[in-house]
Structure formats: C-alpha cells, structure tokens
Structure 1
Amino acid sequence: MQTCVPPTSWTLLLATLGSAASLSLEPGCTARHLARYSLTFTGKWSQTAFPKQYPLFRPPAQWSTLLGATHSSDYSMWKKDEFVSNGLRDFAERGEAWPLMKEIEEAGEQLQSVHGVFSAPAVPAGTGQTSAQLEADPRHSLVSFVVRIVPSPDWFVGVDSLALCEGARWKDRVSVDLFPYDAGTDSGFTFSSPNFATIPQGTVTEITSSSPSHPANSFYYPRLKSLPPLATVSLVRLRHSPRTLLPLPTPDLTARGNEILDTLTAPETPLDCEVSLWSSWGLCRGRCGKLGAKSRTRYVRVQPANNGTPCPGLEEEVECTPDNCV
C-alpha cells in the first residue's frame, strides 16, 4: 500500500533542507546562481513493449510516487552494486516513503549534503506521465530519484547523481532512458512473486533481457540484446518570470516534437511461445496382432505475441505394440 505524504509535511521538510545549504561549490560546478527545473517522468511500460507476464489486474501495471532530492556528491540515495538503505528497501518493496524521507532529512541536517526534496504523483498505469519542479544550487547540483515498479518484489527505476551543472553553466535540458533495477532485498523473479527476503541482502543490480538468466524472470527476453526503456525522464531548466516559471526557449521545435512522439510510441517486443515438457507416453491403443498407437501431450505456458515464434505441436503419436495381449 502506498504511503500518502501530507503537503504540509513536504513544505516543512523542504524548508528544513533548504536552510542546510553549504557555501562551497560542487566539484566541477562554478555556476553562481540557483537553477530551477521541471522534471517529467514518462512511463513506457506497455503490454506491447513488455508482453511477458504483463500485469493486467491485482494490481495492474503502474508506478509509485516519485521521490527525489538535489544534493552534493557527499550524499547517495542509491547506487548500482552497493547495498540500499533501510529507507530505500521499504520504498522499493512496499512503497513506504517516510523512512526514506527521514534519511534524506538527516543527510540535509547533519551533513548539509541535501538542498531539497521533491516528489511527483503516482502514475496509475504502466504508461503515462507525472511531473515535479526542483531547485539546485552550485553546491548541490546533482539530482537523484526513485520510482517503484508496481507490482514487483523490490524493483525500481531512477537516476543516481545526475549532474545538472557543467562548469559555469546550468544545463538547459537533460533526458535519460530508465531501465529496471533490483534492490537486492527480495528474491522474487516475477511481478507478482510472494515476499521472499534475500538473505544475506544483495546489492543493487540492473535487470536486463538476459539477467537474471531464468526463464521465469518477468523481464527475460533472450531474443533481445537489451530491453527497451521502461521509462524516460526529462529535465528542462526554467527561467524566472514575474508571475510564474516558464521553460527556456527550445531552438528546434521539430526536434522537440519528434522527441515527444518517440516518447509516446512503444516498440513491439516479440514474445516467443513457451510450452511445457512432454507428458509420459499413454497406453498403447489397438487390436492384438496389429500395430497400435500411443501418444503424449504438452501445453502452452506462454502464448506468443508481436510476431514471436509460434507454438509447436502439442501432441505426438508413435506406433506401438498393444499392451496386455494374450
């Protein structure tokens, strides 16, 4: 169950973290001013792009609330090949945001490594968009966030320490394709796997089309060299206006239109048919003194989709000598 965070709590936390900014600059960032960005998260988890075991109900495919922070290099929300914190474990497994928020708050108060937190509403389907605004300063020019994949054992997407500043310049636009990660705290292979704690706890690993290399893995597509993006994120720098914050001008509107179209168009991932093992041979049927026949069967475990390999024959028959002839 998702944890609902009261707006007043976000306001208090943002105020607390915002006051903790240090005067020193992030290495490599010499910008002089604050920068504000609009973040747009786009889910691309469609049944066409990811047909295997696609969750249609109880619950259907969806995305949790997005939770992120702008910070310095002294802080890490999560990192590949490292262990997740208790807060991120609770978020990745159950969508509970408060423990992770508390960790971010402590990093801002004690280490002065976090400038502010931000969140975006959940997306109630596998495809769709949600957005948020965030603020960075030269000391805290990195952004990290996580979004839980729902349903899943402990899988998520996100970015780790994405740099918004380059030298003395804030980047006008940053876009990143997002792929699934395993938090290393639950050993389930499928979207709907029951809770099964990983003991000892593992590190964060990227889920690919061939890893984990188990046919039951929901993202196992051995015909693909790599998975298509499960989601994308776009950050656009905002400029000040007397009444509001507006995006910076886009020099190439045609390119931007193509980018939007590409974001909303999902590739077709072929899904091959999967069948069970053969059953045992049945009894030999026929009249005594003549050849009879016996058969065995198998069943379809995964129906093919998107021009995947069709299913082979499900019944096989061979000649035999009838049983129990006198």
Structure 2
Amino acid sequence: MNLCVTMNKLIQLSTVLSFTLLTACGGSSSSNSTPETTTPTTTPPSSTAPADTVTYELTFTQEWTAANFTTNYPSGTHFSPLVGLTHNTEGGIFKRDEVASPGIVLMAETGGKSTLKNEISDIQNAGHSNYLIDESGISNGGKSVTFTFEASQDFPLLSVVSMIAPSPDWFVAINSLSLFNDNTWVENQTIELKVYDAGSDSGLRFSSGNLATNPAEPITLLSSERDDTDFAEGIHYQTGKHIGYIEIKLMQ
C-alpha cells in the first residue's frame, strides 16, 4: 500500500474520533437550556387615604300617621327643629339611663333649642366637637326634611334630636352614631327612629297636660300602657311601626 494513502486515512480517522469525543462530552458551543420559571409579580391596587373631612346628606322622614299610631293619635302633629352635632366619644349630648341635661329637657318638652345649643357650644369649647347641626323640623302635614352636615376623622360621631309634638317630653334621636369605621367612611345608612322619654314629665298621652316628674328620671325608650299611647321600647306595640327614619348618604 502506498505510504501517503495510508497516512491520509489515519489523519481522517483521527479527525472523526476527535469530533465524536467532543460531541459526547458536550463540547458543542450551542445551548438549548430552558428559561427559569418565576412567579409573576402584581402591582397592588392603589389605595387612597380616606378624606379627613366629608359632607353627608341627611333626610329625616316622618311616619307618624293615624294609621300607623292608632292609639290616641293627636291633632297638629309635628317635629321640632333638629339640633345636634358631630363629635368624638366625649362629646355626646345625652345618654340612655342617665338624667337628661336642661337642654335636652327643654327640647323634649317645648321644642326649644337655645339651651341645648349653649350646651353644644360648651362641648365645642372643650374640644369635643367642631360642627353644630341646627336645622328645620317637620311641620304639621309635612313629610320630610333634608340638609347637609360635615364630619371629620377627629369628630366622626353623629348625634341629633327632635321633639315629638305634641307630647309630654318625648323625642326622637340619633345618639353617637359612628360614621367612620375601619378607616372607611360610611357611604349610606338608614336608621329607624325610636321614641325616647326624657324623664322630666309624667304625662301618659301625646296631648297630656304638664305634669313635672320630681325628681327627674333617667332617659329611657318610651313604653306605655296599651290604652294610653301603646308604645313598647320606643315603637308602637300594636302596629310595630317606627315613628320615622333617617337616611344618611355620603356626598361625592
């Protein structure tokens, strides 16, 4: 065999073996790796801090009719001007089971608001309120009254009262209703109103004459005999009706 031919075959064989060894050992420069799997990240929803001060619309609607309150229903029914405030936990104007202040007594017996407004002024001067509610009531034959008021995170509680007239010393109220809960303003709420007895007059019926209670008794929800006004815990016993309701709506 020709020596040159033999050498050429040996060189070719060596080249093939070298290529095979490189391939088997992964020596190729090309890569086919799979990208790492990752958990997608999401941007949390943007959150806006609640407003420090907000405005609400309040509508008081009366349901005091002869059909709903059949026992000794009086003539000339109406509700006195609404008086109240937004306040903190130290700024309430009355507490159930405690004796009424002179301002609550005057409001409940006559509808007068001057003394109660003075008491609210004292509450404001003590730093427990910054907004006075002083609005119209519901006249005889009227159905509702609407107004706006302000509340703030420092003073998020609402209290408002109105005399039921005629009556000895009875009134409706919202008492320290919280409008700011869990860092969120209440958007809307309906409150069915119950009748309170101020404890300053012992009259038994809507049109009873003055009969001062001495000493004064604590404020309670009105309960009365079936043949007087037929109330139980502030609502009419026979019909189960509330004398009215208040709707509160956050203004946008």
Please say if 1:218 is aligned against 2:233.
no
Code of the aligned partner of 1:86: P
Code of the aligned partner of 1:90: L
After TM superposition, the score normalised by the length of structure 2 is: 0.75
Is the contact between residue 34 and residue 136 of structure 1 (CA under 8 Å) also seen in structure 2?
A: yes
Structure number, greater radius of gyration: 2
Relative CO higher for 1 or 2, CA cutoff 8 Å, sep ≥ 6? 2
| Shift, 1:227, TM fit | 3.2
Is the contact between residue 44 and residue 127 of structure 1 (CA under 8 Å) also seen in structure 2?
A: no
**Runs (4+) off by over 6 Å:** none
Code of the aligned partner of 2:118: K
Q: Please, which of 217, 230, 245 is the counterpart of residue 232 of structure 1? A: 245
* Residue equivalent to 1:107: 123
Q: What does the per-residue CA deviation read over 1:192-240, in whole Å, with 9 as the maximum and x for residues that have no partner?
A: 1111111111011111xxx33x34421348x94773111000110012x
In structure 2, list runs of 5 or more residues that go unmatched: 1-48
Q: How has the CA–CA distance of structure 1 residues 174 and 220 changed in structure 2, closer, same or farther, with 3 Å as cutoff?
A: closer
Please say if 1:53 is aligned against 2:53.
no
CA distance in 1, matches of 2:86, 2:231: 34
* Residue equivalent to 2:157: 142
* Residue equivalent to 1:193: 208
* Residue equivalent to 1:67: 83
After TM superposition, the score normalised by the length of structure 1 is: 0.59
| Shift, 1:126, TM fit | 6.2
Q: Please, which of 61, 72, 77 is the counterpart of residue 42 of structure 1? A: 61
Is the contact between residue 32 and residue 168 of structure 1 (CA under 8 Å) also seen in structure 2?
A: no
| Shift, 1:76, TM fit | 1.3
Aligned length: 202
Identity %: 30
Q: How has the CA–CA distance of structure 1 residues 82 and 36 changed in structure 2, closer, same or farther, with 3 Å as cutoff?
A: same
After TM superposition, list the pairs within 5 Å mapping 1:55-134 onto structure 2: 55-56=74-75, 60-109=76-125, 111-125=126-140, 128-134=143-149
Q: Please, which of 131, 154, 172 is the counterpart of residue 169 of structure 2? A: 154
Q: How has the CA–CA distance of structure 1 residues 74 and 134 changed in structure 2, closer, same or farther, with 3 Å as cutoff?
A: same
Is the contact between residue 147 and residue 156 of structure 1 (CA under 8 Å) also seen in structure 2?
A: yes
Is the contact between residue 205 and residue 228 of structure 2 (CA under 8 Å) also seen in structure 1?
A: yes
| Shift, 1:174, TM fit | 1.3
